[in-house]
Each structure stands twice: as structure tokens, then as C-alpha cells.
Amino acid sequence: MKFARLPGIFLCVLLLACGVARAADPALKIGFVDVDRILRDSAPAQRATKRLEKEFEGRRADVQKIADQGKSLQLVLDKGGLTDADRKDKERQLVKLNLDYQRMSRELNEDLNSRRNEELAGIQERVNNAVQQIANTEKFDLILQEAAFHSPRIDITDKVLKALADK
């Protein structure tokens, strides 16, 4: 039970310390960066998205082709009029197509997620460098990337987006 209160106590001590620091130095400069917006709107993120789309478009087309084959085979089965041997053959083909579709979809998603994570890691490094550069240039004392609330007055996301666009 006592450990459950530790995060709250820690937060209170931290806020109190910030208040003391603020009283000691009234020129404390704090900024906020919306990383989600940067990963969505920045030029490097948009280039990475286009690169991934181009890289995986062939495999997506292959998966879609298997899905279309399965749909057309299902339509043939639904129409009826097949002999028992033909129906069983078509059902086996449909099961095989379904398994191929599931396997290919899973592999595509795994590979896409892996590549997306690689791209995001590179972008995150560039974002951190841009934030560090802005912090040093404009003499920020603290820049937050997550907050329950932030004032637009301290939001430096546009500056980071501009810094990333210049590179």
C-alpha cells in the first residue's frame, strides 16, 4: 500500500522542486514538442511513408490478387451446379488460397512493421537532434515531449518541423 503512493509523492516533490527553481530563477524557459504531429507531418516522415508504400506495393498487390482469387472461387462454389468431385476440389483450392492469403498477409504486416520501426528510429534521432539544437540556440531549460496539457505559448513543434524541413 505504501508503494502505491510513491509516484504521487514523487510527482509532488518534483513539482515543488520546480516551484523552488522557478522562484530562484524567474527566467526558466520551458518548451513542448508534439512528437506525434512531427512523425505525421514532417518532411522526413512523409518521405519515409512514400518510400514504404513504394517498397511494399508489389507485395500488397500479390496479397490482393490471392484475395480476389479466393472471392471468385467462393462465388463459383456458391453458385452450385458442381459435381461432388469438382466441389471438393474447389473447396481444397479455397482452403489452400485462404492459408496462402493469411501467411502472405502476416509476413507482409511483420515486414512492414519492421521497416516502419527502422524508419521511425531514424526520424526520431533527427527529431531529437533538432530539438537539442533549438534548446541550445534558444536557451531552453526544459523541453517536454509528453504532457497532459500544454499551453500553445510553449509549443515549439512548428520550429522543429521547420528545422527538419531545412535538412
One digit per residue, the tens of pLDDT, for the chain of length 167 reads: 444 444 444 444 444 445 544 444 568 999 999 999 999 999 999 999 999 999 999 999 999 999 999 999 999 888 888 888 988 998 999 999 999 999 999 999 999 999 999 999 999 999 999 999 999 999 999 999 998 999 999 999 999 999 998 76
Query: Is 14 contained in some domain?
Result: no
Query: CA 43 to CA 115: how far, in whole Å?
Result: 18
Domain of residue 40 covers 25-166
Query: Is 156 contained in some domain?
Result: yes
Angle between helices 84-138 and 157-166 (to 10 degrees): 100
CATH number at residue 94: 3.30.910.20
Query: Is 11 contained in some domain?
Result: no
Query: Is 13 contained in some domain?
Result: no
Q: How deeply is 156 buried, as exposed, middle or buried, from its count of CB atoms within 10 A (0-12, 13-18, 19+)?
A: buried
Query: Is 1 contained in some domain?
Result: no
| Structural domains in the chain (count) | 1
Query: CA 162 to CA 78: how far, in whole Å?
Result: 57
Query: Is 100 contained in some domain?
Result: yes
Query: Is 20 contained in some domain?
Result: no
Query: Is 94 contained in some domain?
Result: yes
pTM reported for the whole predicted model: 0.70
